[in-house]
Amino acid sequence: MLYLYNAGSGPVVTWVRDACTMSLSSPEDEADVEETRRRVYERLKNVADEDAVHDLIARHGPQFLDRDLPFLIVAARNQLRSRLRRAHREHLALQMPDLADPSGDAYDAATGRIGVDALLSALARLDPRDTLLLWRFAEGVPDKEIAAEWEARQLKPSNPSAAALRKRRERAREKLRSMLDSSANTNDG
């Protein structure tokens, strides 16, 4: 697209389009330009997102339609992508925890402390034997040492095998998981 300005008698805009030259010097020419823009608009809205086309026309004016159709299609596609990205970022921002939430400390919300508190509360409600198994295993303590601590605390059943400890730990994990799920559902609703 070429834009030329005549320095003599005032601006005369000329552009090259589809291998023909048009000049805006009379009302008939302006009507032709408007008709050409209308046809381009109709073609463009059939192959590109209509809202994106409207956004581009509002942003750049109707002379935006004087560009070649492939350029317009790419511009409309890019406009649509930008709008979708912006909407996605806004959606993510809505999902972020509200740091100004008066129900909890901003530091707790920022660090995920609220989830840790729920975990500690659920662990406190578990059977002390299950809490011992889960806590010590999370610390990386081997089953043999956990069994020795079990015996030192005189927990029942006495002298559990490594297989029995693993099975009890598996069941304790399931209990803990269901407790956390139920507390999350209670907090959401």
- At 12-23, the pLDDT tens digits run 444 444 434 444
Number of Cα atoms under 13 Å in the Cβ half of residue 139: 11
Instruction: Give pTM, 2 decimals.
Output: 0.40
pLDDT, residue 10, reads: 42
| Check whether domain 106-188 has CATH 1.10.287, yes or no | no
Q: In what helix (H) or strand (E) does residue 155 lie, and over which residues does it extend?
A: none
CATH 1.10.10 domain span(s) along the chain: 106-188
pLDDT, residue 183, reads: 75
- At 65-89, the pLDDT tens digits run 888 888 888 888 888 888 888 888 8
- Specify whether the CB–CB gap between 68 and 92 falls below 8 A: no
Q: Which of 55-69, 84-98, 113-127, 132-146 has the lowest mean pLDDT?
A: 84-98
Q: What DSSP designation does 48 have?
A: S
Is residue 152 scored above 70 in pLDDT?
yes
